[in-house]
Structure 1
Amino acid sequence: MIVGIASDHGGFETKQILMEHLKSQNYTVIDFGNTVNDSTDDYPDYVIPLARAVVEGKVNRGIAICGSGVGASIAVNKVKGVRAALVHDNFAAHQGVEDDDMNILCMGGRIIGAETALELASTFLRAEFSKANRHVRRLKKVKGLEDSFGIVPESKKKHKSK
């Protein structure tokens, strides 16, 4: 599985620990930045490219980390096709995938410790969408909302001929 990961300065240390751990578990990890701990960086600059990569199929799942996880969650959910949630407990880490086909896990680097982040990431990456009729029905309704709202990844935009 190919996992994309991104963070700003608030999640930088957690991201570094997660990347090392995921690689040791034989995941292919793509780092969308920030690659240096810079207190002046802005989370959208890193989490939006991650979100686009998830939607475009360049990575199978994504992990976005900022200080609280709130900003990263808000930002990535603006991208059409992303189903992300701010998760700080194990139940939501697997239930979000099983019931809602969550494809990006958002966490707060200043909220949870490294051990919890490792556990949540592992749970998220092991979980599979149930494909139960009620969950598929609900996702169709969510996708219907996306037809009217959301940032469309560049590769999905239809270009008009002149």
Structure 2
Amino acid sequence: MLIAIGSDHTGVHYKYAINNFLIKKGYQIKDFGFSEYGKDVDYPDYIHPTAEFVNQGKANFGIIICGSGNGAAMIANKYKKIRAALVWKKEIAILARKHNNANIISIPARFIDKNKILKIVGTFLETNFEGGKHKIRIEKIPKILSSSVG
């Protein structure tokens, strides 16, 4: 299974920890994240290629990391086939997969410690989508907005 990962400067430390964790579990990684310490960068430059890779079906799942997780999730959710969930604890990771069939998790680097992040990532990847009524709800998510909205 191939996992795409992208992060800004706030997520560098976590990105490396997640990569090592996933490799040890037998996953393949496509790393789009920033790789230096001590330099600020713009998160869109790293989240767009990660989300696009998953959107094109080139990766099974994606992991994106920025300070709050919000900006990264907002970017990823601009892509048609992406359902990115902001995840800060294990229970949210479970529901993101079971009920929302999320294919990307967005992690708030400033608010979670490394051990918790690894548990969240593992839980997310090991949880299956339930389908049924949740599939019907997900099919209602896409909506083309009229030009009057705005």
Pairwise mapping of residues 66-145 of structure 1 onto structure 2 (< 5 A)? 66-132=66-132, 134-143=133-142, 145=143
Distance 1:62 1:94 in 2: 15
Instruction: Report the Cα offset of residue 130 of structure 1.
Output: 1.0
Moved over 3 A (4+): none
Q: Among all aligned residue pairs of Structure 1 and Structure 2, give the percentage whose two residues are the same amino acid.
A: 37
* 1:12 partner letter: V
Matching residue of 1:26? 26
Segments of 5+ residues of structure 2 without an aligned counterpart are 146-150
The alpha-carbon deviation at position 35 of structure 1 amounts to 2.4
Question: How far off its partner does 1:38 sit?
Answer: 5.4
TM-score with structure 2 setting the length: 0.92
- Deviations 1:70-104 (CA, angstroms, capped at 9, x unpaired): 11111111111110111111111011111111000
Mapping of 1:41-56 within 5 angstroms? 41-56=41-56
1:7-18 superposed matches below 5 A: 7-18=7-18
Whether the 8 Å CA contact 1:12–1:109 is kept in 2: the answer is no
Give a deviation string over 1:87-130, Cα, whole Å, max 9, x none.
11111101111111100001111110000000000000011111
Equivalent pairs, count: 145
Q: 1: distance between equivalents of 2:78 and 2:39?
A: 24
1:16-55: CA deviation from partner (whole Å, max 9, x where unpaired) = 1110111011000110121223533111111111111111
**SS in structure 2 at match of 1:117:** helix
Partner of 1:5: 5
Code of the aligned partner of 1:140: E
CA contact (8 A) 2:69 2:109 kept: yes
State the one-letter code of the partner of 2:69: G
Given that 1:8 and 1:33 are in contact with CA atoms closer than 8 Å, whether structure 2 keeps it comes out as: yes
Distance between the aligned counterparts of 1:36 and 1:58, measured in 2?
A: 25
Structure 1 unaligned blocks of 5 or more? 150-162
SS in 2 for 1:59: coil
RMSD: 1.2
